[in-house]
Amino acid sequence: MKFFAAVALAHLLVAHGFVLQQDKDLRPLPTQSSETALNVAAEIASSDMKPRKTREERLEAASKGLQVHCVGLSIHHADVEVREKLAVPEHDWNKASSEICMGGAVAESAVLSTCNRFEVYYAASDARAAMADVTKYLADRSGLPVSTLRKNLFMLSGDDAVWHIMRVSGGLDSLVVGEGQILSQVRQCYMHSVEEDGSGGKVLSRLLNNAVAAGKRVRSETAISKGSVSISSAAVELSEMLSMDDLQLPFSEARLAVVGAGKMTRLLITHLASRGLEKITIVNRSLGRPKELQEQFPDVDIEIKLMDDLWDVVGRSDIVYTATSSEDYVIDEQRLEENGLAGGRPLMLVDISVPRNVGEDCKNIPNMFAYNVDDLKAVVARNTAMRQKEMIEAENLLREEAQSYIAWREALSAIPTINQLQERANAFREEELKRCTRKLSNANLSDKEMEAVERLSRGIVNKLLHGPMAHLRKTESIEGKQATLKELSAMFRLEEDESNRNRRRR
């Protein structure tokens, strides 16, 4: 009916010189034909035939055996050369999730892409088919053969996937244990998943929301984040540690510059300022963000230069940090040679971007010392060792949060049985009520009295069902839940009733 209504509307609009475009605005129709208008109307009708699922429909889908999985790679499993091929900007996370779901095997999906990890969280009933869809997407996006990808990927399912996202959100899986940025990133992953164009359904959005709550709890109830360092501060520590060896110069005397003016640069300047930084040069494509940083750090002499002056700044600096969102190299061997900066005095390049801003070939140049995020592992090993006690406390809290989600997820499996139990009991009630009504027809009961009889019947049924349904909903082991479901199905012949309904439908 919607299709024919849309077509009729299109005819009416064409007659008056308008067309209803896909954004559903009325626009004048100077040259378009009525056929074009009808095509648009047909597309609108088709899209309207697929409304967003209701809460009941999402619950039903979630109860049909959807299992949570995670596929990805991180700084612990894959080199930056592989990670950068899969990196997705945050504004494209929902687009990537939607593409993963297009194959049909993946019911829900969410992408988390940061400088240290690329992970796909998804829910599916057929794990093998879903894995094939996700792997195909990763291979297509990266341009890498599946055989190469599999050497770098980790794959987790069920409780293992749940435990992983809890550890990620809690900062325990980070290169720098306890760092706070990952919690914000997981929160953004959740927020995007529940947006209009997000692909997170009942199961996945609940998991991500629980993970955010778990990350907050860990940071408020343990000391895991106190005194912790970020990637930016680890980069500062690395350059400070290697300054004398590489540059033959104390770090306090080194001339510093940073390319980019985003969040990572702000954190970088924060940690440099804590070490007594007095002056730094920021190179950026525009002046807006660098000027904001000038206002935020009034005690630091920040010189601002545009990208046209990049090589002049590099030429007079001792340490250059790069932290831009560029997907291509900003500094590489060829550009350094073209600008006469190859093989001269010592220069340290510290790249904290993914995709990388500094080409690997810079290491071929004499007196050039180039480092990327993978080189920070040695710096943060000491940080991890100092946090063992906090990590144990944090893991205990995360296990509680993970178990809470798993219990909720298992409770969904009881929904079909609960519905069948209610339907069967209600069918018996109505049948007996009709029989009783016929016997009471000669009793001249008023409508109000008959309503009281019906309410009585409903009350009796509800009280009888309360015990079994409460038992189904309560938290217990997966094996116990399955055994209870099987016993109730057999006791009330629910499977037999379901098969009879299916035969009637045929």
Q: What is the 3-state secondary structure (H, E, C) of 352-387?
A: CCCCCCECHHHHHCCCEEEECHHHHHHHHHHHHHCC
Tell me 23's DSSP state: T
Q: How far is CA 374 from the centre of its chain?
A: 23
Q: Which residues are registered as beta bridge partners of 320?
A: 257, 349
- Cβ proximity of 294 and 353 under 8 Å: no
From residue 342, how far is each of 347, 363, 445 by CA, in Å?
Answer: 9, 11, 103
Annotated catalytic residue within 115, 189, 362, 436 = 115
Distance CA 79, CA 319 (A): 24
Question: Which of 431, 413, 495, 484 lies closest to 202 in space, CA to CA?
Answer: 413
Where are the extended beta strands (E) located within 381-454?
none
Strand, helix or coil at 20? strand
- Cβ proximity of 349 and 368 under 8 Å: yes
Distance CA 37, CA 120 (A): 40
- Helix segments in 74-126, DSSP class H: 80-86, 93-101
- Residue 115 bears catalytic tag: yes
Distance CA 230, CA 265 (A): 12
Strand, helix or coil at 106? coil
Question: Which of 212, 186, 204, 210 lies closest to 109 in space, CA to CA?
Answer: 204
Question: Which of 130, 213, 197, 61 lies closest to 120 in space, CA to CA?
Answer: 130
Here the tokens at position 131 are 């894995």
- Cβ proximity of 167 and 156 under 8 Å: no
Phi and psi angles of residue 347, each rounded to the nearest 5 degrees, phi first:
-140, 130
Residues designated as active site: 115
